[in-house]
Structure 1
Amino acid sequence: MNISKEQVDALNAIVKVAISKEDYADKVEKVLVDYRKNANIPGFRKGQVPMSLIQKQYGRAILAEEVNKLLQTSLNDYLVEEKLDILGNPLPKVTEDFNWDSDDFTFEFELGLAPEFSVDLAKSKVTKFEIVADDKMLDEQVERIQKQYGKMIPQDKVTEDTTVLGTFSNEENGINNTTTITLDIFNDKKTAKQFVGKKVGDVVALGTKGLFDDDHKLMDYLKVGHDGIHGLDITVDFKIEEINAIEKAEINQELLDKLFGEGVVSSVEELKAKIKEDAEAQFAQQADQKFLNDVIEGLIENTKFDLPAEFLKKWIQNVGETPLSAEQAEVEYEKSEKGLRYQLIENKIIAENDLQIQFEDLKSHTAELIKKQMAQFGQLNPTDEEVEGIVARVLSNQDEVKRLSEQVMSEKMLDLFKEKVSGKAKKVNYQEFVKEMYGE
């Protein structure tokens, strides 16, 4: 057997595999002998069928199977030995005059090669946001707690100070969401006045354009996806189902103990400090995610290299169960190109910085997730044995191991980017961060 590589250009190559009769003859003969032992052909006793008949009936199929096995094994070994960094899989070149009656065979495969490039994290410049819970947010959260634990008093009519439970709907756009609102959520006082004096069962028609001071609130109140809120200019109906006035709860020790446990918080000032601490911990996760996304986008944009595009399109055409047309493959390639570029960049970053996932990393990450989930259900102090037992069960599932490994690697990448990517820090409140997040 002889395997050789012809370099077409920096990103494409042809591998030729020449197989001679001596490479496969013994294997084919052995399989034919086994077939003869077990063949049941009318007119012959089992094991006594003439080899010429076995050869005639099964020879071509066995030859093709054994040659293909040898071909795949040899090609894979060659790629590993030569340390060829390929994209996709080798694509066999079709030979119109291929002859299985020949003793010797030559097969050719097209290869798409990974490009050579460098990644310089030090050149990346990304804003690192620090989101602060400002006084306005803290006051609103205290008031929200007072309303949440306050006394609901049913009302006959809507006033400026009542809360209204109802359903936003628009059948054509698939909107149907029941929620509670207060009249101060609307951007225009004229909109709020449409509700004043209304009763249970009444319907108020509202235009979505400019309905709120921030269009992103449409996502919460109408349950519309982010892509759907841009330019949304429709009419929605709001059917009133309940009208209530709220007698706000007093912020006293009894309420504070109910919220945080006995003696943990003992004043409004400490309540605000606790709200600030919890909110900013959540905000930090969102800021980290934006930082990670921005670094990734910057790397994709600024790390320049070519891909074997034509090879990849051809590979996409043939990789699935159902072959695609050239036009379909073009569309799929355009969809996947950005992801492929980042995959190559990420692999290089991982290799150059020796980012490895150890099993202890995976166990520790999983244990922390489990403790957080248990805390949500009131189990604040689980034993180590309880947590370890759940970790063992979770990590016995390979799909979960893959998903959690991706999370651990994402954390390692985030830590690396924080260390090596330069950028100015910027303090913002949450509303300012939302505008930065969505570029609005």
Structure 2
Amino acid sequence: MNIKRTDIDALNALLTLTVEKADYQEQVDKLLADYRKTANIPGFRKGHVPASLIRKKYRTPILVEEINKMIQQQLNEYITKEELELLGNPLPKAQEDINWEADDFTFEFELGIAPQFDVDVKGKKTITHYEIKTDDDTLNRQIDRIREQYGKLIAKDTVAEGDQITGVFRNDDEGINSDATFKTDKIKGKTNLKKFVGSKVGDTIELKTKGLFEDDHDLMNFLKVEHDKAHGLDIKVTFEITEVNERELAEMNQEFFDKLFGPGVISSKEELMERLREDAGRQFSQQTDQKLLTDVTEGLIENTKFDLPADFLKRWIANSGENPMTEEEAAAEYERSEKGLRYQLIESKILKTNPDLQLKFEELKDYSRTQIKAQMAQYGHTDATDEEIDGVVARIMQNQEEVKRMSEQLQNEKMLQFFKDNAKLKKKELTYEEFIKEAYES
């Protein structure tokens, strides 16, 4: 088989494969002879069907299958030998009806070539690396929320600020008849709050939904309306108060500490604050790390300039799935996936030029071992032997989905540390509320 490559430009090429009779004849003749031995055709004894009839009946499907096998094998060998970095897979060019009675055949395949480029991780633009501070005020508010959660409800007749109210929202025209429970701190504005404070169980309050709650999503939850309808909803509703409760905070005693962390683990407010500070630090670092990874990724995509064989990729997308797409559908899918493809190429380039970032099997096993020990400790099993842990690790390493999941997780962690060490970062310390506002709401 002869393979000829024609470069159209730096990102597109055409492979022409010529299959000659000598390439396939011996194998096709062998398979036809095997068919003749086993074929069951009415009017003939097994093994005595005329060779001409076998050839007429089976030669074309056998030939097509064998040539397809040869093409796939030769394509893979050629791509490997030439060390071609492709995007997508070779895309066969459409041909008119092929004359399978001919001796020689020619097939053409389009190739999308991966672009050549350099990656500057440091870049020109400084990226903010957030650090969330866990100050005492934040921790005290968290402790109050926990004490409230573990406290008890005291029934009341009259609403006061801070109380928990249960009732029914109604609007017959809109079909609203919804039970809801919320604290008064959910209510927005002094005017609305005054309508609740001083009301009694059994009272019905007339309200306007616009500006009723601090968050419009509360309308969706409390009135049971759709998300899009909740935003900017401006109708009148009534609210019948059916229950009022004051939540008494749990006492900060040993019983309370034991409920949180187990007997004897924590024995004072100071120890509780330190434990919450550590837990918050871990939780916050996960969020700030994810934000950093997102920002660095977007920065690399924006600043690493290279072209893609877009027309080829759209044709490949249109024809690579189980169900072919229209040109419009393929173009839309390409637009959705382009940024992801660009980052895959950038990450691949970083891994290629930084071999230490590439995962090793023993490294993955050690990571799995650490994960298992942490999970066991979380459930109180802190005295597991090395033999027990190694047994769990061995089972995990036989599960392809688990191995894939952990590989992606570990690779992300290594890439994150690489960016922390090499990207142009500036640290910024703020509270959690400030972080959410600046990082996600601005």
TM-score, with normalisation over the residues of structure 1?
A: 0.88
Deviation string 1:248-286 (CA, Å, 9 cap, x unpaired) is: 233234433443445544433333232222212210111
Match of 1:339 in 2: 340
Match of 2:393 in 1: 391
- Alignment of 1:182 onto 2:191: no
Report if aligned partners of 1:17, 1:108 keep a CA contact under 8 Å in 2: yes
Question: Which amino acid counterpart does residue 314 of structure 1 have in structure 2?
Answer: R
Match of 1:364 in 2: 366
Question: Which amino acid counterpart does residue 405 of structure 1 have in structure 2?
Answer: S
Evaluate the alpha carbon distance shift between residue 367 and residue 434 of structure 1 in structure 2; reply closer, same or farther with a 3 A threshold. Answer: same
5+ residue gaps, structure 1: none
Alignment of 1:128-147 (within 5 A): 128-147=129-148
Evaluate the alpha carbon distance shift between residue 377 and residue 46 of structure 1 in structure 2; reply closer, same or farther with a 3 A threshold. Answer: same
Match of 1:71 in 2: 71
Alignment of 1:19-98 (within 5 A): 19-96=19-96, 98=98
Q: Secondary structure at the match of 1:121?
A: coil
Evaluate the alpha carbon distance shift between residue 42 and residue 18 of structure 1 in structure 2; reply closer, same or farther with a 3 A threshold. Answer: same
Question: Which amino acid counterpart does residue 357 of structure 1 have in structure 2?
Answer: L
Match of 2:432 in 1: 430
| C-alpha distance in structure 2 between counterparts of 1:133 and 1:256, whole Å | 20
Match of 1:99 in 2: 99
| C-alpha distance in structure 1 between counterparts of 2:403 and 2:171, whole Å | 42
| C-alpha distance in structure 2 between counterparts of 1:169 and 1:84, whole Å | 67
Report if aligned partners of 1:200, 1:243 keep a CA contact under 8 Å in 2: no
Q: How many residues are aligned here?
A: 435
Return 364-373 or 399-408, whichever deviates more.
364-373
Deviation at 1:217, TM superposition (A): 7.4
Evaluate the alpha carbon distance shift between residue 343 and residue 241 of structure 1 in structure 2; reply closer, same or farther with a 3 A threshold. Answer: farther
Q: Secondary structure at the match of 1:116?
A: coil
Question: Which amino acid counterpart does residue 48 of structure 1 have in structure 2?
Answer: H
Return 243-252 or 165-174, whichever deviates more.
165-174
Match of 2:194 in 1: 193
Return 35-44 or 150-159, whichever deviates more.
150-159
Report if aligned partners of 1:209, 1:231 keep a CA contact under 8 Å in 2: no
Question: Which amino acid counterpart does residue 186 of structure 1 have in structure 2?
Answer: I
Match of 1:281 in 2: 282
Match of 2:209 in 1: 207
5+ residue gaps, structure 2: none
| C-alpha distance in structure 2 between counterparts of 1:220 and 1:179, whole Å | 11
Alpha-carbon RMSD across the aligned residues, in angstroms, is: 3.3
Deviation at 1:361, TM superposition (A): 3.0
TM-score, with normalisation over the residues of structure 2?
A: 0.88
Return 113-122 or 174-183, whichever deviates more.
174-183
Report if aligned partners of 1:130, 1:425 keep a CA contact under 8 Å in 2: yes
- Alignment of 1:155 onto 2:129: no
| C-alpha distance in structure 1 between counterparts of 2:371 and 2:414, whole Å | 16
Match of 1:251 in 2: 252
Evaluate the alpha carbon distance shift between residue 154 and residue 439 of structure 1 in structure 2; reply closer, same or farther with a 3 A threshold. Answer: closer
Deviation string 1:177-199 (CA, Å, 9 cap, x unpaired) is: 98753212333122323333143
Deviation at 1:72, TM superposition (A): 1.2
Evaluate the alpha carbon distance shift between residue 27 and residue 202 of structure 1 in structure 2; reply closer, same or farther with a 3 A threshold. Answer: farther
Return 88-97 or 323-332, whichever deviates more.
88-97
Report if aligned partners of 1:6, 1:15 keep a CA contact under 8 Å in 2: yes
| C-alpha distance in structure 2 between counterparts of 1:345 and 1:174, whole Å | 53
Return 72-81 or 234-243, whichever deviates more.
234-243
| C-alpha distance in structure 2 between counterparts of 1:119 and 1:126, whole Å | 16
| C-alpha distance in structure 1 between counterparts of 2:138 and 2:109, whole Å | 63
